Amino acid sequence: MYDYAINVTEDVGSFWSSCDDIPEAHSAGDTLEQLLHNAAEGLEVALSIYVDQLRHIPQASPAKEGQHVIHLSALVNAKIALWNAMRDKGMRKADLCRLLGAVQSKVDRLVDFEHSSKIEQVESALAALGKRLTVSVESA
């Protein structure tokens, strides 16, 4: 769903990445493995820009030849779905606060991709927006 493909460039003993779907996402690493680990964090930081700018988060495009796919966590995927459901309804965080009867800090954490919210809280917020969270398992 939100497994983003990144472009990897090697440059004098280090690696850096970019993402066609999320141009704000950039990462670096001394090794390819380090870069791939850092890329998930870089994507999460970039997704926060979309929230700050009240922008819809785009679906991931299929990977092209030579690209590496970054699999974001189930929690981050759920938070993206929550944010996009809010945007589809023209809602801001304050609107979700009123709908859930929650304080601002709780809703801020629900759409903070770097915060370890409980998945049940995100699931409840999605339900309040008429959405149901589903989980699937696939072969790696």
Write out the H or E segment, with its range, that includes residue 95.
helix 93-100
- The predicted-structure confidence for 2-25, as pLDDT tens digits, reads as follows 999 999 999 888 999 999 999 999
Average pLDDT, the chain: 95
Specify the pLDDT at position 137: 86
Q: What is the mean pLDDT of residues 20-48?
A: 96
pLDDT given at position 29? 96
Dihedral sign from CA coordinates of 10, 14, 19, 24: negative
Beta strands in 35-96 (DSSP E): 68-71
- The domain locations on the chain are 3-71, 74-128
Radius of gyration of the chain (CA): 16
β-bridge mates for residue 10, sequence order: 15
The fold of 3-71 is: Double Stranded RNA Binding Domain (3.30.160)
pLDDT in tens, 78-109: 999 999 999 999 999 999 999 999 999 999 99
- The separation between CA 132 and the C-alpha centre of its own chain, rounded to angstroms, equals 18
Taking only the tens place, the pLDDT of each residue in 62-72 is 999 999 999 99
Report the pLDDT value the prediction gives residue 139, as an integer from 0 to 100. 84
